[in-house]
Structure 1
Amino acid sequence: MTQHTPSAADASWLAREQLDTLPTAQVLDWLFNQDSLTRRLTRLSHDRFSVVPSAEGWQPLRDDECSALDLPPGSEGWVREVYLLGQDEPWVFARSVAGREALRDSGLHMDALGTRSLGELLFSNPAFDRGALRVRRYPAQWLPVQARTEGLWARRSRFSRGTLGILVAEVFLPAFWVALNAADLNNEEPS
Structure 2
Amino acid sequence: MSLASPTPHWLSADQLSPAAASSVRDWLFNQDSLTRRLTALSAGSFSVTPLREGWLSMRDDECTALDVPPGSMGWVREVYLRGNGQPWVFARSVAARQVLEGSGLDLQQLGSRSLGELLFSDQAFARGELQVCRYPGAWLPAEAVQDGLWARRSCFRREQLAVLVAEVFLPAFWPAASR
Task: Tell me, yes or no, whether TM beats 0.5.
Answer: yes
- Residue identity in the other structure for 1:165: A
How many Å separate the matches in 1 of 2:71 and 2:4? 9
1:56-67 maps to which residues of 2 (within 5 A)?
Answer: 56-67=53-64
Richer in helix (by share): 1
- Specify the alignment match of 2:17 in structure 1: 20
- Residue identity in the other structure for 1:4: L
Over aligned residue pairs, what C-alpha RMSD do you find?
Answer: 0.9
- Residue identity in the other structure for 2:169: F
* 1:118 is aligned to 2:115: yes
- Specify the alignment match of 2:91 in structure 1: 94
TM-score computed with the length of structure 1 as normaliser: 0.92
Q: Structure 1 residue 6: deviation in Å?
A: 4.2
SS at match of 1:71: coil
Q: Structure 1 residue 180: deviation in Å?
A: 1.3
How many Å separate the matches in 2 of 1:97 and 1:11? 17
Q: Structure 1 residue 5: deviation in Å?
A: 3.0
- Specify the alignment match of 1:187 in structure 2: none
* 1:45 is aligned to 2:45: no
Which structure 1 residue ranges, 4+ long, deviate > 6 Å from structure 2?
A: none
With 14-23 and 127-136 compared, the bigger mean Cα shift is at 14-23
1:33-182 maps to which residues of 2 (within 5 A)?
Answer: 33-181=30-178
Identity %: 61
- Specify the alignment match of 1:4 in structure 2: 3
* Structure 1 gap segments, 5+ residues each: 184-191
Q: Structure 1 residue 12: deviation in Å?
A: 1.4
Alignment check: 8 A CA contact 1:130 1:157 kept: yes
TM-score computed with the length of structure 2 as normaliser: 0.98
- Specify the alignment match of 1:186 in structure 2: none
* Structure 2 gap segments, 5+ residues each: none
How many Å separate the matches in 2 of 1:134 and 1:3? 22
